[in-house]
Structure 1
Protein backbone atom coordinates (compact mmCIF):
# COMPACT_ATOMS: atom_id res chain seq x y z
CA UNK A 1 0.00 0.00 0.00
CA UNK A 2 1.43 3.38 -1.03
CA UNK A 3 1.62 6.39 1.27
CA UNK A 4 -0.82 9.07 0.15
CA UNK A 5 1.05 11.70 2.18
CA UNK A 6 4.43 10.93 0.64
CA UNK A 7 3.01 10.76 -2.88
CA UNK A 8 1.28 14.11 -2.43
CA UNK A 9 4.48 15.70 -1.18
CA UNK A 10 6.52 14.19 -4.01
CA UNK A 11 3.99 15.36 -6.60
CA UNK A 12 4.19 18.88 -5.21
CA UNK A 13 8.00 18.83 -5.42
CA UNK A 14 7.92 17.46 -8.97
CA UNK A 15 5.41 20.09 -10.09
CA UNK A 16 7.57 22.86 -8.62
CA UNK A 17 10.75 21.40 -10.13
CA UNK A 18 9.24 20.92 -13.59
CA UNK A 19 7.68 24.38 -13.68
CA UNK A 20 10.80 26.15 -12.39
CA UNK A 21 13.19 24.26 -14.64
CA UNK A 22 11.09 24.39 -17.82
CA UNK A 23 9.27 27.72 -17.58
CA UNK A 24 10.24 30.06 -14.76
CA UNK A 25 14.00 29.96 -15.42
CA UNK A 26 13.48 30.81 -19.09
CA UNK A 27 10.93 33.54 -18.37
CA UNK A 28 13.33 35.19 -15.92
CA UNK A 29 16.36 35.13 -18.23
CA UNK A 30 14.78 35.41 -21.70
CA UNK A 31 14.91 38.80 -23.40
CA UNK A 32 11.70 39.29 -25.41
CA UNK A 33 13.26 42.08 -27.47
CA UNK A 34 16.44 40.32 -28.63
CA UNK A 35 14.81 36.86 -28.50
CA UNK A 36 17.86 35.56 -26.68
CA UNK A 37 18.82 34.50 -23.18
CA UNK A 38 20.41 37.20 -21.06
CA UNK A 39 23.14 36.37 -18.54
CA UNK A 40 23.61 32.77 -19.72
CA UNK A 41 25.99 31.86 -16.89
CA UNK A 42 23.47 33.02 -14.26
CA UNK A 43 20.76 31.13 -16.15
CA UNK A 44 22.77 27.92 -15.82
CA UNK A 45 23.48 28.58 -12.15
CA UNK A 46 19.77 29.22 -11.52
CA UNK A 47 18.80 25.89 -13.09
CA UNK A 48 21.47 24.02 -11.14
CA UNK A 49 20.02 25.45 -7.93
CA UNK A 50 16.54 24.29 -8.98
CA UNK A 51 17.84 20.77 -9.52
CA UNK A 52 19.66 20.70 -6.17
CA UNK A 53 16.51 21.85 -4.35
CA UNK A 54 14.56 19.00 -5.94
CA UNK A 55 17.23 16.38 -5.24
CA UNK A 56 17.35 17.36 -1.56
CA UNK A 57 13.86 15.90 -1.24
CA UNK A 58 14.83 12.51 -2.71
CA UNK A 59 18.31 11.76 -1.33
CA UNK A 60 19.07 10.63 2.25
CA UNK A 61 18.99 13.53 4.70
CA UNK A 62 22.57 12.80 5.80
CA UNK A 63 23.84 13.97 2.40
CA UNK A 64 24.49 17.50 1.20
CA UNK A 65 24.58 18.97 -2.33
CA UNK A 66 26.88 21.43 -4.00
CA UNK A 67 28.89 22.10 -7.15
CA UNK A 68 32.64 21.70 -7.53
CA UNK A 69 35.51 19.37 -8.31
CA UNK A 70 36.37 15.76 -7.47
CA UNK A 71 39.89 15.09 -6.20
CA UNK A 72 41.81 11.93 -5.30
CA UNK A 73 44.87 11.24 -3.19
CA UNK A 74 46.63 10.27 -6.44
CA UNK A 75 46.61 13.95 -7.49
CA UNK A 76 43.64 13.71 -9.87
CA UNK A 77 41.36 16.75 -10.25
CA UNK A 78 38.16 16.45 -12.27
CA UNK A 79 36.50 19.04 -14.45
CA UNK A 80 33.78 20.99 -12.65
CA UNK A 81 30.57 19.13 -11.79
CA UNK A 82 27.23 20.95 -11.74
CA UNK A 83 25.97 18.60 -9.04
CA UNK A 84 27.95 16.86 -6.30
CA UNK A 85 26.09 14.88 -3.65
CA UNK A 86 28.39 14.18 -0.71
CA UNK A 87 28.58 13.12 2.91
CA UNK A 88 29.51 16.36 4.69
CA UNK A 89 30.63 14.50 7.81
CA UNK A 90 33.37 12.80 5.78
CA UNK A 91 34.42 15.73 3.58
CA UNK A 92 37.28 17.50 5.42
CA UNK A 93 38.52 19.38 2.33
CA UNK A 94 35.22 21.04 1.45
CA UNK A 95 35.61 24.81 0.98
CA UNK A 96 32.51 26.90 1.67
CA UNK A 97 31.47 30.31 0.42
CA UNK A 98 32.29 31.70 -3.02
CA UNK A 99 35.62 29.88 -3.30
CA UNK A 100 36.05 26.72 -5.34
CA UNK A 101 34.80 23.53 -3.75
CA UNK A 102 36.86 20.33 -3.73
CA UNK A 103 35.60 16.93 -2.62
CA UNK A 104 37.59 13.75 -1.87
CA UNK A 105 36.22 11.00 -4.08
CA UNK A 106 35.74 8.74 -1.05
CA UNK A 107 32.94 10.91 0.36
CA UNK A 108 31.01 11.53 -2.88
CA UNK A 109 27.66 9.79 -3.39
CA UNK A 110 26.73 11.10 -6.84
CA UNK A 111 27.85 13.51 -9.57
CA UNK A 112 25.66 15.21 -12.15
CA UNK A 113 25.37 17.62 -15.05
CA UNK A 114 22.50 20.02 -15.70
CA UNK A 115 21.77 21.10 -19.27
CA UNK A 116 19.06 22.78 -21.32
CA UNK A 117 18.37 21.46 -24.82
CA UNK A 118 21.08 19.09 -26.04
CA UNK A 119 22.07 18.29 -29.58
CA UNK A 120 23.67 14.91 -30.27
CA UNK A 121 27.29 16.08 -30.03
CA UNK A 122 26.60 18.08 -26.85
CA UNK A 123 24.87 15.05 -25.36
CA UNK A 124 27.87 12.85 -26.16
CA UNK A 125 30.25 15.41 -24.63
CA UNK A 126 28.25 15.46 -21.39
CA UNK A 127 28.16 11.64 -21.22
CA UNK A 128 31.91 11.31 -21.70
CA UNK A 129 32.64 14.06 -19.18
CA UNK A 130 30.64 12.24 -16.51
CA UNK A 131 32.20 8.88 -17.36
CA UNK A 132 35.73 10.24 -17.01
CA UNK A 133 34.91 11.70 -13.61
CA UNK A 134 33.23 8.45 -12.57
CA UNK A 135 36.47 6.61 -13.40
CA UNK A 136 38.09 8.42 -10.46
CA UNK A 137 36.01 6.14 -8.20
CA UNK A 138 38.70 3.53 -8.68
CA UNK A 139 41.57 5.91 -7.87
CA UNK A 140 41.52 5.29 -4.12
CA UNK A 141 44.92 4.55 -2.58
CA UNK A 142 43.72 2.61 0.45
CA UNK A 143 39.96 1.95 0.28
CA UNK A 144 38.68 1.83 3.85
CA UNK A 145 34.98 1.05 3.99
CA UNK A 146 32.84 2.80 6.62
CA UNK A 147 29.43 1.69 5.39
CA UNK A 148 28.47 -0.79 2.69
CA UNK A 149 25.12 -2.30 1.75
CA UNK A 150 26.55 -5.70 0.88
CA UNK A 151 29.49 -7.14 2.84
CA UNK A 152 32.78 -7.59 1.02
CA UNK A 153 35.96 -5.80 -0.06
CA UNK A 154 36.26 -2.86 -2.47
CA UNK A 155 35.19 -4.36 -5.81
CA UNK A 156 34.17 -1.70 -8.39
CA UNK A 157 34.33 -4.22 -11.25
CA UNK A 158 31.43 -6.21 -9.80
CA UNK A 159 29.71 -3.99 -7.23
CA UNK A 160 28.23 -0.80 -8.74
CA UNK A 161 27.75 0.69 -5.27
CA UNK A 162 31.53 1.02 -4.97
CA UNK A 163 31.47 3.48 -7.90
CA UNK A 164 30.29 7.09 -7.80
CA UNK A 165 26.97 7.14 -9.71
CA UNK A 166 26.35 9.77 -12.39
CA UNK A 167 23.20 11.55 -13.52
CA UNK A 168 22.38 13.93 -16.37
CA UNK A 169 19.34 16.23 -16.32
CA UNK A 170 18.17 18.29 -19.29
CA UNK A 171 15.07 19.85 -20.77
CA UNK A 172 15.14 18.05 -24.11
CA UNK A 173 17.26 15.89 -26.40
CA UNK A 174 17.18 17.73 -29.72
CA UNK A 175 17.92 14.87 -32.10
CA UNK A 176 16.36 11.61 -33.25
CA UNK A 177 15.98 9.42 -30.15
CA UNK A 178 13.79 6.74 -31.74
CA UNK A 179 16.64 4.25 -31.29
CA UNK A 180 18.41 5.90 -28.37
CA UNK A 181 18.80 2.69 -26.34
CA UNK A 182 20.93 1.17 -29.12
CA UNK A 183 22.67 4.36 -30.28
CA UNK A 184 23.87 5.71 -26.94
CA UNK A 185 26.74 3.26 -26.44
CA UNK A 186 28.30 4.52 -29.68
CA UNK A 187 28.35 8.05 -28.27
CA UNK A 188 30.93 7.05 -25.68
CA UNK A 189 34.68 7.06 -26.35
CA UNK A 190 36.13 3.60 -26.97
CA UNK A 191 38.22 3.94 -23.80
CA UNK A 192 35.12 4.14 -21.55
CA UNK A 193 34.28 0.90 -19.75
CA UNK A 194 30.58 0.02 -19.56
CA UNK A 195 30.54 0.24 -15.76
CA UNK A 196 31.67 3.89 -15.97
CA UNK A 197 28.72 4.95 -18.13
CA UNK A 198 25.73 6.97 -16.90
CA UNK A 199 23.43 5.69 -14.18
CA UNK A 200 20.45 7.88 -14.99
CA UNK A 201 19.52 10.42 -17.65
CA UNK A 202 16.42 12.56 -17.17
CA UNK A 203 15.05 14.54 -20.10
CA UNK A 204 12.00 16.36 -18.85
CA UNK A 205 10.36 16.20 -22.28
CA UNK A 206 11.63 12.80 -23.47
CA UNK A 207 11.75 10.48 -20.44
CA UNK A 208 14.28 8.82 -18.17
CA UNK A 209 17.01 6.49 -19.42
CA UNK A 210 18.31 3.73 -17.15
CA UNK A 211 18.83 -0.02 -17.66
CA UNK A 212 16.65 -3.04 -18.30
CA UNK A 213 16.65 -5.97 -15.88
CA UNK A 214 14.46 -8.93 -15.02
CA UNK A 215 12.91 -6.76 -12.30
CA UNK A 216 12.12 -4.07 -14.85
CA UNK A 217 14.25 -0.97 -14.39
CA UNK A 218 17.60 -0.41 -12.63
CA UNK A 219 20.03 2.53 -12.33
CA UNK A 220 23.19 0.44 -12.83
CA UNK A 221 25.05 -0.07 -16.14
CA UNK A 222 26.63 -3.27 -14.80
CA UNK A 223 25.74 -5.80 -12.10
CA UNK A 224 28.11 -8.54 -10.96
CA UNK A 225 30.21 -7.96 -14.06
CA UNK A 226 27.24 -8.28 -16.43
CA UNK A 227 26.58 -5.28 -18.71
CA UNK A 228 22.93 -4.25 -18.79
CA UNK A 229 21.16 -2.74 -21.77
CA UNK A 230 19.75 0.78 -21.83
CA UNK A 231 16.02 1.29 -21.47
CA UNK A 232 14.07 4.51 -22.03
CA UNK A 233 11.00 5.09 -19.89
CA UNK A 234 8.91 7.62 -21.80
CA UNK A 235 6.48 10.04 -20.14
CA UNK A 236 2.75 9.81 -20.64
CA UNK A 237 1.06 12.78 -22.29
CA UNK A 238 1.51 15.66 -19.88
CA UNK A 239 2.47 13.24 -17.11
CA UNK A 240 5.35 13.16 -14.66
CA UNK A 241 5.66 9.41 -14.12
CA UNK A 242 9.18 9.47 -15.58
CA UNK A 243 10.24 12.11 -13.05
CA UNK A 244 8.76 9.99 -10.25
CA UNK A 245 10.78 7.02 -11.51
CA UNK A 246 13.91 9.19 -11.66
CA UNK A 247 13.37 10.37 -8.07
CA UNK A 248 12.97 6.79 -6.84
CA UNK A 249 16.12 5.63 -8.62
CA UNK A 250 18.18 8.59 -7.38
CA UNK A 251 17.27 7.61 -3.84
CA UNK A 252 18.30 4.02 -4.61
CA UNK A 253 21.78 4.87 -5.89
CA UNK A 254 22.55 7.35 -3.12
CA UNK A 255 21.14 5.26 -0.26
CA UNK A 256 23.06 2.18 -1.46
CA UNK A 257 26.38 3.91 -2.25
CA UNK A 258 29.40 2.65 -0.32
CA UNK A 259 30.92 5.24 2.01
CA UNK A 260 34.71 5.26 2.26
CA UNK A 261 37.04 6.91 4.75
CA UNK A 262 39.14 9.65 3.08
CA UNK A 263 42.59 8.94 4.48
CA UNK A 264 44.04 12.42 4.95
CA UNK A 265 47.59 11.08 5.29
CA UNK A 266 47.27 9.84 1.69
CA UNK A 267 46.18 13.28 0.55
CA UNK A 268 48.92 15.10 2.47
CA UNK A 269 51.67 12.68 1.46
CA UNK A 270 55.09 13.06 3.04
CA UNK A 271 56.18 16.04 5.11
CA UNK A 272 59.85 16.84 5.40
CA UNK A 273 60.85 13.72 3.49
CA UNK A 274 59.12 11.33 5.87
CA UNK A 275 55.65 9.91 6.19
CA UNK A 276 53.17 12.12 8.06
CA UNK A 277 52.15 9.22 10.26
CA UNK A 278 54.80 6.88 11.57
CA UNK A 279 53.80 3.35 12.47
Structure 2
Protein backbone atom coordinates (compact mmCIF):
# COMPACT_ATOMS: atom_id res chain seq x y z
CA UNK A 1 0.00 0.00 0.00
CA UNK A 2 1.09 3.60 -0.45
CA UNK A 3 0.24 6.84 1.30
CA UNK A 4 -2.36 7.75 -1.33
CA UNK A 5 -4.58 4.89 -0.10
CA UNK A 6 -3.75 2.65 -3.07
CA UNK A 7 -3.49 -1.06 -2.29
CA UNK A 8 -1.90 -3.69 -4.51
CA UNK A 9 -3.33 -7.06 -5.37
CA UNK A 10 -1.95 -9.88 -3.25
CA UNK A 11 1.70 -10.80 -3.90
CA UNK A 12 3.15 -14.26 -3.34
CA UNK A 13 6.38 -12.77 -2.02
CA UNK A 14 7.15 -9.37 -0.51
CA UNK A 15 10.72 -8.39 0.36
CA UNK A 16 10.91 -5.53 2.84
CA UNK A 17 13.24 -3.96 5.38
CA UNK A 18 11.94 -5.07 8.75
CA UNK A 19 13.91 -2.41 10.62
CA UNK A 20 11.84 0.41 9.14
CA UNK A 21 8.53 -1.31 8.39
CA UNK A 22 5.64 -0.58 10.78
CA UNK A 23 3.01 -3.24 11.26
CA UNK A 24 -0.20 -2.30 9.41
CA UNK A 25 -3.21 -4.57 9.86
CA UNK A 26 -6.90 -4.14 9.20
CA UNK A 27 -9.91 -5.35 11.18
CA UNK A 28 -9.59 -8.76 9.48
CA UNK A 29 -5.96 -9.08 10.67
CA UNK A 30 -4.67 -8.80 7.11
CA UNK A 31 -1.17 -7.35 6.98
CA UNK A 32 -0.23 -4.48 4.68
CA UNK A 33 3.28 -3.30 3.82
CA UNK A 34 4.00 0.39 3.20
CA UNK A 35 5.63 0.62 -0.21
CA UNK A 36 8.38 2.93 1.07
CA UNK A 37 10.14 0.06 2.84
CA UNK A 38 9.36 -2.62 0.26
CA UNK A 39 12.29 -3.73 -1.87
CA UNK A 40 10.93 -6.49 -4.07
CA UNK A 41 7.81 -8.38 -5.08
CA UNK A 42 7.54 -11.83 -6.62
CA UNK A 43 5.12 -14.34 -8.06
CA UNK A 44 5.64 -18.11 -7.84
CA UNK A 45 3.84 -20.29 -10.39
CA UNK A 46 3.95 -23.85 -11.69
CA UNK A 47 3.36 -24.36 -15.41
CA UNK A 48 2.51 -21.18 -17.33
CA UNK A 49 0.73 -20.85 -20.64
CA UNK A 50 1.40 -17.73 -22.68
CA UNK A 51 -1.87 -16.24 -21.41
CA UNK A 52 -0.93 -17.02 -17.81
CA UNK A 53 2.49 -15.43 -18.27
CA UNK A 54 0.95 -12.25 -19.65
CA UNK A 55 -1.45 -12.07 -16.71
CA UNK A 56 1.32 -12.61 -14.14
CA UNK A 57 3.64 -10.03 -15.70
CA UNK A 58 0.95 -7.35 -15.87
CA UNK A 59 -0.03 -8.03 -12.26
CA UNK A 60 3.58 -7.47 -11.20
CA UNK A 61 3.79 -4.30 -13.30
CA UNK A 62 0.65 -2.79 -11.74
CA UNK A 63 1.88 -3.55 -8.24
CA UNK A 64 5.26 -2.08 -9.11
CA UNK A 65 3.56 1.21 -10.02
CA UNK A 66 2.52 1.83 -6.42
CA UNK A 67 5.94 3.06 -5.39
CA UNK A 68 6.19 5.37 -8.37
CA UNK A 69 2.75 6.89 -7.79
CA UNK A 70 3.08 7.59 -4.10
CA UNK A 71 3.55 11.02 -2.61
CA UNK A 72 7.06 11.10 -1.13
CA UNK A 73 6.33 14.09 1.11
CA UNK A 74 7.29 13.33 4.68
CA UNK A 75 9.28 10.22 3.83
CA UNK A 76 12.98 10.22 4.55
CA UNK A 77 15.62 8.23 2.70
CA UNK A 78 17.59 5.82 4.89
CA UNK A 79 19.39 3.95 2.12
CA UNK A 80 20.28 5.09 -1.39
CA UNK A 81 23.05 3.50 -3.45
CA UNK A 82 23.31 6.11 -6.20
CA UNK A 83 24.17 9.80 -6.29
CA UNK A 84 21.21 10.95 -8.37
CA UNK A 85 18.01 12.45 -7.01
CA UNK A 86 15.41 9.94 -5.85
CA UNK A 87 12.91 9.21 -8.61
CA UNK A 88 15.31 10.28 -11.35
CA UNK A 89 14.86 7.01 -13.18
CA UNK A 90 17.43 4.85 -11.44
CA UNK A 91 16.47 1.18 -11.21
CA UNK A 92 17.44 1.08 -7.54
CA UNK A 93 14.45 3.35 -6.76
CA UNK A 94 11.97 0.87 -8.24
CA UNK A 95 10.61 -2.31 -6.71
CA UNK A 96 12.54 -5.37 -7.91
CA UNK A 97 9.95 -7.65 -9.52
CA UNK A 98 10.49 -11.30 -10.35
CA UNK A 99 8.56 -14.33 -11.52
CA UNK A 100 9.53 -17.93 -10.76
CA UNK A 101 7.84 -20.86 -12.48
CA UNK A 102 8.41 -24.52 -13.24
CA UNK A 103 8.21 -24.09 -17.00
CA UNK A 104 6.70 -22.09 -19.84
CA UNK A 105 4.17 -24.27 -21.61
CA UNK A 106 4.41 -22.76 -25.09
CA UNK A 107 6.91 -22.34 -27.90
CA UNK A 108 9.58 -19.93 -26.67
CA UNK A 109 11.60 -19.67 -29.90
CA UNK A 110 10.51 -16.05 -30.40
CA UNK A 111 9.93 -15.07 -26.78
CA UNK A 112 12.64 -12.38 -26.75
CA UNK A 113 10.81 -10.58 -29.55
CA UNK A 114 7.41 -11.16 -27.94
CA UNK A 115 8.04 -10.27 -24.29
CA UNK A 116 7.51 -6.54 -24.66
CA UNK A 117 4.14 -7.14 -26.34
CA UNK A 118 2.95 -9.20 -23.36
CA UNK A 119 2.44 -6.00 -21.40
CA UNK A 120 -0.57 -3.73 -21.65
CA UNK A 121 -0.21 -1.06 -24.29
CA UNK A 122 1.30 2.18 -23.05
CA UNK A 123 2.98 0.70 -19.98
CA UNK A 124 6.20 2.60 -19.17
CA UNK A 125 9.11 0.14 -19.60
CA UNK A 126 10.46 0.80 -16.10
CA UNK A 127 7.54 -1.19 -14.67
CA UNK A 128 8.43 -4.36 -16.56
CA UNK A 129 9.79 -7.41 -14.75
CA UNK A 130 13.39 -7.52 -13.63
CA UNK A 131 13.87 -11.25 -14.01
CA UNK A 132 11.88 -14.33 -14.97
CA UNK A 133 13.22 -17.70 -13.80
CA UNK A 134 11.81 -20.84 -15.40
CA UNK A 135 13.31 -23.95 -13.84
CA UNK A 136 13.12 -25.74 -17.19
CA UNK A 137 13.60 -22.87 -19.64
CA UNK A 138 16.26 -20.72 -18.00
CA UNK A 139 16.46 -17.06 -17.01
CA UNK A 140 15.07 -14.01 -18.79
CA UNK A 141 16.42 -10.56 -18.02
CA UNK A 142 18.16 -7.74 -19.97
CA UNK A 143 21.50 -6.76 -21.46
CA UNK A 144 23.41 -3.61 -22.28
CA UNK A 145 26.31 -2.82 -24.59
CA UNK A 146 29.59 -1.73 -22.96
CA UNK A 147 32.53 -1.10 -25.30
CA UNK A 148 30.94 -3.30 -27.97
CA UNK A 149 30.48 -6.12 -25.48
CA UNK A 150 27.17 -7.40 -24.13
CA UNK A 151 26.66 -7.27 -20.39
CA UNK A 152 23.63 -8.60 -18.52
CA UNK A 153 21.69 -6.20 -16.32
CA UNK A 154 18.64 -6.90 -14.17
CA UNK A 155 16.87 -3.62 -14.84
CA UNK A 156 14.64 -2.90 -17.87
CA UNK A 157 15.49 0.81 -17.75
CA UNK A 158 18.19 2.91 -16.14
CA UNK A 159 17.55 6.63 -16.51
CA UNK A 160 16.60 6.98 -20.20
CA UNK A 161 18.36 3.82 -21.35
CA UNK A 162 15.99 0.98 -22.18
CA UNK A 163 17.63 -2.42 -22.36
CA UNK A 164 16.84 -5.42 -24.53
CA UNK A 165 15.67 -8.86 -23.45
CA UNK A 166 18.11 -11.71 -23.05
CA UNK A 167 17.59 -15.43 -22.42
CA UNK A 168 20.20 -17.24 -20.31
CA UNK A 169 20.41 -21.01 -20.67
CA UNK A 170 23.12 -23.48 -19.75
CA UNK A 171 23.71 -27.23 -19.80
CA UNK A 172 24.16 -26.89 -16.06
CA UNK A 173 20.58 -26.23 -14.92
CA UNK A 174 21.88 -24.50 -11.80
CA UNK A 175 23.58 -21.67 -13.71
CA UNK A 176 20.36 -19.67 -14.39
CA UNK A 177 19.29 -20.28 -10.78
CA UNK A 178 22.62 -18.99 -9.46
CA UNK A 179 22.36 -15.95 -11.73
CA UNK A 180 18.86 -15.25 -10.43
CA UNK A 181 20.03 -15.38 -6.82
CA UNK A 182 22.94 -13.07 -7.64
CA UNK A 183 20.65 -10.50 -9.31
CA UNK A 184 18.16 -10.71 -6.46
CA UNK A 185 20.80 -10.30 -3.76
CA UNK A 186 22.55 -7.40 -5.47
CA UNK A 187 19.29 -5.58 -6.15
CA UNK A 188 18.02 -6.02 -2.60
CA UNK A 189 21.31 -4.74 -1.18
CA UNK A 190 21.27 -1.70 -3.48
CA UNK A 191 17.58 -0.81 -3.24
CA UNK A 192 16.50 2.64 -2.09
CA UNK A 193 14.66 2.46 1.23
CA UNK A 194 12.40 5.17 2.61
CA UNK A 195 10.90 5.61 6.05
CA UNK A 196 7.16 6.26 5.76
CA UNK A 197 5.51 9.14 7.57
CA UNK A 198 2.68 7.43 9.47
CA UNK A 199 0.63 10.63 9.49
CA UNK A 200 0.23 10.33 5.72
CA UNK A 201 -1.27 6.87 6.17
CA UNK A 202 -3.97 8.06 8.57
CA UNK A 203 -6.01 9.91 5.97
CA UNK A 204 -8.38 8.38 3.46
CA UNK A 205 -9.13 5.34 5.63
CA UNK A 206 -12.74 6.10 6.56
CA UNK A 207 -13.85 2.57 5.69
CA UNK A 208 -10.92 0.75 7.26
CA UNK A 209 -9.64 0.14 10.75
CA UNK A 210 -5.84 0.14 10.67
CA UNK A 211 -3.66 -0.81 13.61
CA UNK A 212 -0.11 0.51 13.87
CA UNK A 213 2.63 -1.15 15.87
TM-score normalized with structure 2 length: 0.88
Q: 2:126 aligned with 1:195, yes or no?
A: yes
Given the alignment, which residue of 206, 221, 226 partners 2:156?
221
- What's the RMSD between the two structures over aligned residues? 1.8
Name the larger-Rg structure. Answer: 1
Decide which structure has greater helix share: 1
| 5+ residue gaps, structure 1 | 1-70, 272-279
* Counterpart-to-counterpart distance in 1, 2:99 and 2:50: 14
* Counterpart-to-counterpart distance in 1, 2:13 and 2:99: 9
Given the alignment, which residue of 178, 181, 187 partners 1:253?
187
Measured against aligned partners, the alpha-carbon deviations of 1:17-39 in whole angstroms (never above 9, x if no partner) come to: xxxxxxxxxxxxxxxxxxxxxxx
1:174 aligned residue:
105
Which stretch shifts more, 167-176 or 238-247? Answer: 238-247
* Counterpart-to-counterpart distance in 2, 1:251 and 1:193: 25
Written as runs of structure 1 = structure 2, the 5 A alignment for 1:202-213 is: 202-213=133-144
* Counterpart-to-counterpart distance in 2, 1:129 and 1:239: 28
2:84 aligned residue:
152
1:121 aligned residue:
51
- Aligned to 2:39, what secondary structure does the other structure show? strand
* Counterpart-to-counterpart distance in 1, 2:43 and 2:22: 24
Measured against aligned partners, the alpha-carbon deviations of 1:56-100 in whole angstroms (never above 9, x if no partner) come to: xxxxxxxxxxxxxxx0110101000000000111111345xx942
Given the alignment, which residue of 230, 240, 243 partners 2:177?
243
Q: 2:168 aligned with 1:233, yes or no?
A: yes
TM-score normalized with structure 1 length: 0.67
Given the alignment, which residue of 85, 104, 118 partners 2:15?
85
How many residues are matched?
A: 197
Determine which structure has greater relative contact order: mean sequence separation of CA pairs < 8 Å that are 6+ residues apart, divided by chain length: 2
* Counterpart-to-counterpart distance in 2, 1:240 and 1:191: 36
Decide which structure has greater strand share: 2
Measured against aligned partners, the alpha-carbon deviations of 1:34-65 in whole angstroms (never above 9, x if no partner) come to: xxxxxxxxxxxxxxxxxxxxxxxxxxxxxxxx
Structure 2 contact 5–204 (Cα < 8 Å) conserved: no
Structure 1 contact 90–107 (Cα < 8 Å) conserved: yes
Structure 2 contact 92–191 (Cα < 8 Å) conserved: yes
